[in-house]
A and B are shown apart, each in its own frame.
Chain A
Amino acid sequence: MLEPAERDALRSQLRSAVADKRPAEETLVSIGRLYRDGKASDALLCARTLQAITPDLLQQGSREISAFIARSVSLEPVLAFMQIEAALAGFILTAEFGGYGSFMDEMLNGAGPLHATSNFDLILLATDLEDFAGALPDLCASGRGDGVAAEIAACIDRLRSMLVALRSRVRSRILVQGFVVPDRTALGDTGESNLPGGLRAAIRQLNTQITQVCTEVSSCTFFSVEDVAARFGKARWFDARLFLSSRVPFAAAAFPAYAQAFAHTVRVLFGPMRKVLCTDLDATLWGGILGEDGPDGIATGTTFPGNCYRAYQQYLLRLRARGVLLAIVSKNNLADVEEAFALRSKDLALTLEDFSARKIGWGEKALALQDIARELSLGVDAFVFVDDNPAECEAVRLALPEVAVVHVPADEPWHYVERLQQGGYFDTAAISDDDLHRADHYRNEEQRHTLQQSVSSREDFLQSLDIVCTLLPATEAPLARSVQLLGKTNQFNMTTRRHGAAEIEQFHSTPGGQAIALRVQDRFGDSGVVGLLLAQTAGEVCRIDTLLLSCRVIGRDIERALLAEAARRASNDGARWLIGEFVPTKKNGPAAGFYTACGFTTDIPEGVPAPSQDGASLWYWYDLHWGNPPVPTFLTFEGGDHEPAIAGVSA
């Protein structure tokens, strides 16, 4: 909580932020402080100030998310909170509300704004139990459960029809809000826990089945408001006065909790993903200072306080198991660290080999992080840095603002896991096979580097890798992997369009459309599906909407395989021109020269209609009359179920 004087200072600072021409980022930080630590009523001033700096935030790269809220409850008073939370997570949220009684008509039939040409990034369905499964409370009153399953099934069928109808019309991501398991019911606690057909059990079942429906519909995610309410506190969640008088579904005190969970979901669905956790060693991965306490003196193991550190190590290991790469950034002597890992292996949950990168030395940590980024071919915005030293944390924050910094309190090591969890950095709506194998992949990458040093020319090196490319439909990559690539690839990404599953399916199924995924293997291992191309032929012109390659395989000319395949299909579809598009961003420098290097020209050929000039796009043309763009000879193609393999390409 802020001191009154501090609060007043922040309030007057926000009030004059625009007049004083204060930088928008700085104002956003002040908004965050006042919003989180001021009074509930300060959200009004924060929301207003946010609105004033929104144009600046958009210009500085905050992404706009347009949402439609199909609902049967009043979420209008919560919107300001959702917008502030979204802005603090890097998004500018605009929202339009549907009618109270018309959510079904809107979703099912496209009434109101949800017509086929609507273009929302996100559609949230938020209803009250009364309007979604209104018969349940009465059916559960006896606790016997008669008719409960049938009623749930009917509600789920209705939801499925709504979602399927909606998905067939619009491309937006869909977020379906579940229901809160009520704190008090007519049966009472003992009845709820012992009788077969209580309301709590019914609502848990309802939530489970909604989750299931969400997995059946592409780009559809379940939003568990039950978890939000439980974390906030069930006893305080529902405010009967607000609900009965204004249909506000939860107490005013819970607005920030709901808004934060919503913004977190937006970040998971639309934001870049964190992929690497860099941890300090002394007083972080283990207790004490290795250089002073020696390998036998550091705290780790099964007894307190060593078990605090071991809990943190086990948490890292669980992150690694689902695809997060671990790295060490520590000021220590390498030999000492190696000795500690060897001598204390029984007490440590991790081995040195579990870390995909290790920067152990006496240099600056920000530089070490940049080195790791280079080694792993990832941007530092994929990094989370954990350290107990506030000065190191601050130094990294200043030098690399894109890195998420987690400061852990050295005197309270039992809080480490909690601190790391609070940021929710590695949360994700889907986990692919590729995620699960990522750590192995990077180990293979080390072997590739070693090989590169022993082979003289680049061509010879690439030849020696025995690269095999397999082309497959992006809808079968599987589809979730294609969506993930679109969401996460930043460097070799020509347009950085974060399409969802619905758009991929559209490219795949439209005549003249292409949605190609690329799987890459070499003698060291399977890199998985790492490339994607979306294109559409109309008349004589094939426009490449998206061409991307995971940074894991940049630098081996693999992207040319995708381009050649697109050219082949475009020719078959009757196109004469390939149009490439490049939208420069802060990160996609590695992709900048690609089209020119492949023989595209930047001059509009005669007789070709100029593409609409929207924003920062640069355009490139390729005349297919001169044949397809060349493919490197060191790439071997495997058709899989895709036929025929690229003509004229040999191993």
Chain B
Amino acid sequence: MSQPLPASLRDLVADTLEIEPDEVTPELNTETAENWDSFRHLQLMLGVEGEYGIQFDPSAIAHLTSVAAIQDALIKKGVTF
């Protein structure tokens, strides 16, 4: 994605994973982020859904394993930041 990372998404990821906002990059993913386990993933997904007022298909959630992928999915849902 060439679009910049929206601050709201950056903060959500940072708060869920308990890291600093500036540690959140589009490349950050479940492999590179130490804290990003399945429960935090669920928590993050619920947080994202609440923040942007959308719902993901549960089978898509398993693939949203990086910040960029989440941002991409939000744009496909028509979310503007």
Contacts and interface: CB of A to CB of B under 8 A. Distances in A.
Interface stretch (A74-82, A136-144, A295-303, A610-618): A74-82
Given A48-B15, A48-B18, A41 B51 contact: yes
Interface in A270-293: none
B72 interface: no
Nearest to A246: B42
B48 A41 contact: yes
A80 B16 CA distance: 10
B33 interface: no
> Is chain B's binding surface mostly helix, strand, loop or mixed?
helix
Interface in A492-546: none
Nearest to B44: A44
Contacts of B75: none
B44 to A, nearest CB: 8
Contacts of B27: none
A74 B38 CA distance: 12
B23 interface: no
Contact of A252 (B12, B18, B50, B61): B50
B15 A39 contact: no
Interface in A553-576: none
B25 interface: no
B50 A39 contact: yes
B39 A76 contact: yes
Nearest to B57: A241
Contacts of A40: 46-47, 50-51
A358 to B, nearest CB: 50
Interface in B1-51: 11-12, 15-16, 18, 39, 42-43, 46-51
A149 interface: no
Contact of A45 (B15, B39, B50, B61): B15
Interface string A80-105: 10000000000000000000000000
B58 interface: yes
A422 interface: no
Contacts of B61: 245
Chain B interface size, under 10 / 10 to 19 / 20 to 34 / 35 or more: 10 to 19
A244 B11 CA distance: 29
B57 to A, nearest CB: 9
A11 interface: yes
B58 A39 contact: no
A48 B47 CA distance: 13
A252 B15 contact: no
A282 to B, nearest CB: 44
Contacts of A76: 39, 42-43
Nearest to A239: B55
Contacts of B58: 241, 244-246
B11 A77 contact: no
A41 B11 CA distance: 10
Most buried by B among A11, A41, A246: A41
Contact of B15 (A44, A241, A244, A248): A44
Nearest to B52: A41
Given A44-B12, A48-B18, A241-B55, A252 B49 contact: yes
Contacts of A43: 47
B55 A41 contact: no
A77 B39 contact: yes
A41 B18 contact: no
Interface of A: 11, 39-41, 43-45, 47-48, 74, 76-77, 80, 241, 244-246, 248, 252
10 contacts: A40-B47, A41-B12, A41-B50, A41-B51, A44-B15, A45-B15, A47-B15, A77-B39, A244-B58, A252-B50
Given A76-B42, A77-B42, 13 more contacts: A11-B11, A39-B50, A41-B12, A41-B48, A43-B47, A44-B12, A45-B11, A45-B15, A77-B43, A241-B58, A245-B61, A246-B58, A248-B42
